[in-house]
Amino acid sequence: MKELRPEVVRPEMLRRRVDPTRYRGLVRPDKTVKWTKDQLEQVERLRGQSSEAWPRPTALPKSLGELGELLTTLGWEDLAALAHREELMIYREMDAARPGVFTNEIRRALAVLFSNLIDARRYDEALEVVNEQLRLSSTDRSSGVAARDAEYWRMVYWRAKILARLGRRDEAAQSTAVAVNEVRGPLGRLGDASANLELSHVLALHADQLDSAGRVAEAADMTAEVVAYWRERPDSTDTFASMVDLLSERLVRSERAEEAGVCLTEAIEEIRHREDRLTLARIWHSFSARLLSLGLPNEALAAIEQAVNIHRESVRRFREGHRQLEAVDEWDWYDDQRYDEDPHENRRRELESSLEAVHKAERDLHDELLNLSACLRRLDRVDEATAASAKAATISKAHAVYSSRPRDSQ
């Protein structure tokens, strides 16, 4: 990073409006503004003194850190960045006099400054900060497993993301390629669960950057490795299915449609036997759409049937929940301490919310039944297709009757 003395926060800079959409406080904004002004007064008093006169050796940088937190709460990330830059500058000067003593403070100030710059969308400056964080990480760690931790990979991730946002996609891909090689080396040789998890995350990140750089075939190959990792994790079905969906999409764009079809059909057989399949309706729908586009209606049918079963079960559960709510004695609502308002109004709102959840589940089932019907027709199974359409029509008719009723009669 550049070692220039930064501009500092001055009282006149606080004469701005608080944007309510960016305000993060729990009290009225005017109170936070007052606290911020008071904190800046304290900072200015300390600025005017020599460090020997401070009540404690870190008085000024700590006060600047607190000022930066208040400015962040107000949504004034640009001013917060100024406060944390000044804080960082002072800690650097102190660390130069006592090397290593203030390393943790420098790290923390860099992390907070980075967050402010990202929020302010000042990506060029954020890139400088994350490069500095990575340099610090490289200089104060030994080689081997201890050389890389979750914080390091978070910085690698953000560096690649910023480079991509700046349009420097080739550099982003090169950055993540280095990370992949690092993980495959000392971490990969261990073969333990944490090392493999790190490798899967870095591979996924690298695949994203390759895809963004137009290197889709390479991205697909990387994604296939990630899929292989998550296939062995039966408790992570959602992640596995999402990665399969992404892999199939990249294979199609790489003109490897046959491989896409194989990976989807194999995944269907794998997932359908897992216990947490009720969370996967969206994935089944996506699988079926891609299989249909690949000219594989039989395979698509298997996915659509899974989605229909999930939505049918969802409708059953929401209907049962609504029936139980309707059966609650209305007098029980008078004793419910959650409500200070008219219990009749509260009961009406909860019943309406519950009924809307039922109708949403029914709409989802309706849409998937139409997909089922269309797929069956492509397979010339006309009678089954007609039956599926009829079930969808029954749901539509019930919704039309409901929508036509006056609100106070529902």
Do residue 126 and residue 16 come from a single domain?
yes
Range of the domain at 136: 1-140
Do residue 236 and residue 106 come from a single domain?
no
How many domains, in total, are found in the chain? 2
Indicate whether 382 belongs to any domain.
Answer: no
Residue 405, CA distances (Å) to 175, 361, 400 in order: 60, 20, 9
Do residue 133 and residue 11 come from a single domain?
yes
Indicate whether 74 belongs to any domain.
Answer: yes
Indicate whether 130 belongs to any domain.
Answer: yes
Give me the residue label for tokens 């982003």: 172
- DSSP state, residue 76: -
Indicate whether 300 belongs to any domain.
Answer: no
Q: Please, what is the angle between helix 193-212 and helix 150-165, to 10°?
A: 0
Q: How far apart are CA 268 and CA 303, in angstroms?
A: 7
Give me the residue label for tokens 């929020």: 119
- Which residues have CB under 8 Å from 294's CB, separation 6+? 252, 257, 260, 261, 264
| Boundary residue ending a domain (276, 299, 327) | 276
Do residue 2 and residue 94 come from a single domain?
yes
Do residue 19 and residue 136 come from a single domain?
yes
CB 354 within 8 A of CB 321: yes
Indicate whether 228 belongs to any domain.
Answer: yes
Do residue 253 and residue 126 come from a single domain?
no
Do residue 38 and residue 127 come from a single domain?
yes
Q: How far apart are CA 324 and CA 361, in angstroms?
A: 17
Q: How far apart are CA 208 and CA 384, in angstroms?
A: 41
What string of pLDDT tens digits covers the 410 residues of the chain? 444 445 899 999 999 999 999 999 989 999 999 999 999 999 999 998 998 999 999 999 999 999 999 999 999 999 999 999 999 999 999 999 998 889 889 999 999 999 999 999 999 999 999 999 988 877 655 444 444 566 777 788 788 889 888 988 888 888 888 878 877 765 555 555 556 777 788 889 899 989 988 899 999 999 999 999 999 887 788 889 999 999 999 999 999 999 999 999 999 888 877 655 556 788 888 899 999 999 999 999 999 998 999 899 889 999 998 888 888 765 554 554 444 455 667 777 888 888 888 889 999 999 999 999 999 999 999 999 999 999 999 988 877 655 555 544 44
Indicate whether 206 belongs to any domain.
Answer: no
Contacts 24+ apart (CB under 8 A), 275-279: 276/235, 276/237, 276/238, 277/237, 277/306, 277/310, 278/310, 278/313, 278/314, 279/237, 279/238
CB 42 within 8 A of CB 63: yes
| Boundary residue ending a domain (108, 140, 172) | 140
| Boundary residue ending a domain (106, 140, 174) | 140
Indicate whether 173 belongs to any domain.
Answer: no
Helix (H) / strand (E) element for 192: namely none
Q: How many CB atoms lie within 10 A of CB 166?
A: 14
Indicate whether 397 belongs to any domain.
Answer: no
